Amino acid sequence: MANFILYRLFQSAIVMLIVALISFFLFNFVGDPISNMVGQETTVKDMDELRQRLGLNDPVIVQFGRFIVDALQGDFGISYRLQRPVEELIAERMPATLELVFVSAIIAIGLGVAGGLFTGLKRSHWFSKFILTTSLVGISLPTFIIGILLIYIFAVKLNWLPSFGRGEVVDLKGGWSTGLLTVSGWKAIILPSITLALYQTTLILRIIRSELLEVMRTDFIKFARARGLKSRDINYGHALKNTLVPVITVTGLQIGSLIAFSIVTETVFQWPGMGALFIQAVQFADVPVMSAYLILVALFFVVINLIVDLLYFVVDPRLRAEIKN
Amino acid sequence: MAVIDISNISIEFPTRRGVLTAVENLSLSIEAGEILGVVGESGAGKSLTGNAIVGLLEPPGHVTAGTILLNGRDITHLPESEMRKIRGAKIGVIFQDPLTSLDPLYTIGRQLTQTILTHKKMSHAEAKARAIELLNEVGIPAPEQRFDAFPHEFSGGMRQRVVIALALCCDPCLIIADEPTTALDVSVQAQIIDLLKNLSREKGVATMLVTHDMGVIAEAADRVAVIYSGRLAEIGDVRSVIDAPKHPYTRGLMDSIPQIGQNLKTLPNIIGAMPRLDARPEGCAFNPRCAKSKSICRQQTAPLIETGSDGQWAACWAYEGGNKYV
């Protein structure tokens, strides 16, 4: 078991190294970093000096090594646009994104699992058909249209919820600013989190449903019925648990994509998170911010994948046995 | 009184192209301690009959006529909540493939205690003791240690023993074993057959042994029922049916089993194939393949007719004049 974890950690480190390499090359290929930094009046001599001072004349491998060492210490350089350390900017913006993703994930998993169970177990119920039809809408409409629709209905027409921003935030110790402690914060998070969660909800719902239909046909479910078990035990104990391995895989990846997809939602709702920061960085070719964001999102994916792999063991004894040997 | 007494049941599947009658007017009964072998080709309706008894017919299939009596109680159309209490408690079921009958995510101990606790009021410790006793009974070595093992840690034969232990959990009076040995290799088959035989003798359990393997029937069954195209073709004592089959189909079936010492160039077979449910001929379903078919065979289904004094019955017009089963 420990070996397996070490092995997976090693794999994760390699993935991160490759991502770091890509984001490192961003610096060298997306424009000349020196001309991005200096003004128009700077002489060529000054530019060469700056290039020398920043170590940009060193061999690529030395520069990459320096990039990695800095990144490990949380140093991603200075934002071209805002002239502030990137790690500071990200630390400021991260709570907003993570809270949005957290609420969306809860909505997506809660509604997805409940809807998947209902449509999978009561296939011919009219409500199942209704859920499946509406879930098609969730899958096929682009996020920003749903966001704009929600703003139009609930903010503009009904005037129930704010159309942008995070509402009032409270600063917690450690520099974390939360919107989840104020009423206006909760009001502000409803529309963006629903917008962000909708696609993932329908995906989780449909996967649970199709896995459930598959599992319900297996011999051990038939045998469980023949043993006279209660349908509650069969449905939740045996059927649902057997759908979990694929569901965990997809759900894990989807939480990763929630972080990645929050860019669009944050733009629509002017949510002051990392996604909005990234979009602005792209517009200004603010390479340090872009590369730091890239590495961070990759890190989230890697960590989630690691957790997913560990959850497999909790669920499936066959995998535990495989690793032991 | 027979443990299970099925009389004249029909099972139908309504489809878009009309109603398919998968089992028609079938009657059989099993006494305590008796093993009734039910043989037939794939699709003859033998598994359906077993499923109908425990109320596990896949919709839209359902019993349209006849009665199923369990210890004299009519269970033909019991509501699901009542039927659930009978399944696993009064009737144990064993399916064909032991590799897929057990939930891979739970220990066999958990699956055993779950079944026991569903049907019996006892503490968890008592249920565990009972489970270990059962594992011992079906011949699992070191049952205390194996209690916490997962299904994938057992071989096929051992898994089938676990499945049998699960079927026996609550001392059922009837066991329906649907092809219990088909997925196992021959030497393990013999062990499982022995186990079923002993259980039925010692505990007085009535056993319905559904199979297409005449060897298994000859080895284990007391009586045998031959099903052809959803109808009972012949039923009787196992030795009489094997040694002196009366129905032309049974005869063809017996002839097609090669015997050691027999010097054959070609294996005798029955020309043709069992008709599809929607293309069953008028009269006896076997008549197009029967060398001795008469005009009445093509018009009317033969009733079960007693062919001798030893309780052998065949649904064949050749025995017209004998006692008819009503």
DSSP character string of B219-288: HH-SEEEEEETTEEEEEEEHHHHHHS--SHHHHHHHHTS--TT---SS----SS-PPPGGGPPSS-TTGG
Which residue does chain B place closest to A240, by CA atoms?
Answer: B105
CATH of the domain at A235: 1.10.3720.10
Closest among B250, B224, B253, B256 to B239, alpha carbons compared: B224
Chain B residues in contact with chain A using a Cβ-Cβ cutoff of 8 Å? 54, 56, 84-89, 93, 95, 97, 100-107, 114-115, 118-119, 150, 152-153, 163, 166-167, 169
Q: Do B136 and B143 contact (CB within 8 A), yes or no?
A: yes
Q: Cα–Cα distance between A168 and B7 in angstroms, integer?
A: 76
Q: How confident is the model at residue A262 (pLDDT cuts 50, 70, 90)?
A: confident
User: Which A residues 222-241 touch B at CB under 8 Å?
Assistant: 222-231, 233, 237-238, 241
Look at residue B91 in the predicted model and tell me its pLDDT.
92
- Does residue B136 have a pLDDT over 70? yes
Q: State the average pLDDT over residues A78-103.
A: 84
d(CA A168, CA A183) in angstroms, rounded, equals 8
Report which of B281, B92, B79 is spatially closest to residue B171, judged by C-alpha positions: B92
* B29: β partners: B5
Assess whether pLDDT exceeds 80 at residue A325: no
Binary contact (A233, B89; C-beta < 8 A): no
Mean pLDDT, range B123-135, rounded to an integer: 91
More confident residue, A26 or B107: B107
Using left for φ > 0, alpha for ψ between -120 and 50, and beta otherwise, residue B321 falls in: left
- A179-188 per-position pLDDT tens digit: 777 777 787 7
Specify burial of residue B325 (Cβ count, 10 A radius: 0-12, 13-18, 19+).
middle
* Overall domain count for chain A: 1
The token duo for A193 is 């989190």
* Predicted ipTM of the assembly: 0.85
| d(C-alpha B241, C-alpha B223), whole Å | 8
Size of interface A-B (CB pairs under 8 A): 76
- The amino acid occupying position B62 is H
Q: How far is residue B250 from each of residues A164, B35, B263, B313, measured CA to CA in Å?
A: 81, 19, 22, 12
C-alpha closest to that of A269 among A152, A169, A158: A152
| Bond into B60 cis (ω within 30) | yes
Nearest-by-Cβ selection for B89 from A218, A228, A241: A228
pLDDT tens, A278-303? 888 888 777 788 888 888 888 888 88
Domain assignment present for A225: yes
**Separation in Å, CA of B111 to nearest CA in chain A:** 9
Instruction: Give the H or E element holding residue B11.
Output: strand B4-15
pLDDT greater than 80 at residue B308 = no
Would residue A166 count as lying in a domain?
A: yes
Task: With CB atoms and an 8 Å threshold, state whether A219 touches B95.
Answer: yes
Task: Kindly state whether A218 is in contact with chain B, defined as any CB-CB distance less than 8 angstroms.
Answer: yes
Q: Which domain covers residue A162, as residue numbers?
A: 86-324
B56·A228 Cβ contact <8 A = no
CA distance B26 to chain A (A): 22
Q: What pLDDT is stored for residue A121 in this prediction? A: 86
- How much is the average pLDDT of B73-77? 89
Say which of B88, B104, B152 has its CB closest to residue A227: B88
What per-residue confidence (pLDDT) applies to B131? Answer: 92
Q: Which two tokens stand for residue A31?
A: 């424009």
Domain membership of residue A283 (yes or no) is yes
Question: Which tens digit of pLDDT belongs to each residue from B205-259?
Answer: 999 999 888 888 988 899 999 999 889 999 999 998 888 888 888 888 888 887 7
pLDDT of residue B123: 92
Nearest to B101 among A223, A231, A317 (CB): A223
B59-76 burial, b for 16+ CB within 10 Å, e for fewer?
A: eebebeebebbbeeeebb
Residue B151 CA to chain centroid, in angstroms?
Answer: 25
How far is the C-alpha of B171 from the C-alpha of B194, rounded, in Å? Answer: 18
| Selection from A20, A55, A58 nearest residue A34 by Cα | A55
Q: Which of B103, B150, B153 to mutate to test the interface with A (most CBs of A within 10 A)?
A: B103
Q: Is residue A142 part of a domain?
A: yes
Q: Which residues of A touch B103 (CB under 8 A)?
A: 220, 224, 238, 242
Look up tokens 């935030």; give the residue.
A169
Reported as a pLDDT band with limits 50, 70 and 90, residue A36 is low
Residue B157 pLDDT > 70: yes
Q: What is the DSSP pairing of strand B223-228 with strand B35-39?
A: parallel
In chain B, where are the structural domains located? 226-257+283-326
Residue closest to B206 by CA, chosen among B217, B228, B227, B222:
B222
Distance CA A80, CA A292 (A): 13
pLDDT at A164 over 80: no
CA-to-CA distance for A6 and B201, rounded, in angstroms?
56
Angle at A143 between CA A141 and CA A145, to 5 degrees: 70
pLDDT of B143 above 70: yes
Q: Which residue of A has its CA nearest to B150?
A: A317
Burial of A152-164, coded b for 16+ CB within 10 Å and e otherwise, reads eebbeeeeebbbe
CA B14 to chain centre: 24
Please state the three-class secondary structure of A18-53 as a single string: HHHHHHHHHHHHCCCHHHHHCCCCCCHHHHHHHHHH
- Hey, are the CB atoms on A230 and B84 less than 8 Å from each other? yes
Q: What is the mean pLDDT of residues B118-136?
A: 91
Task: Find all residues with CB under 8 Å of B310, minimum gap 6, and list them.
Answer: B236, B237, B240
* Residue-level pLDDT at B206: 93
Q: A55 pLDDT exceeds 80? A: no
Q: Which amino acid is at A48?
A: D
- pLDDT above 70 covers a percentage of chain A that reads 96
CB spacing of B115 vs A229 below 8 angstroms: yes
CB distance A238–B103 less than 8 Å? yes
Beta pairing, strands B4-15 & B18-30: antiparallel
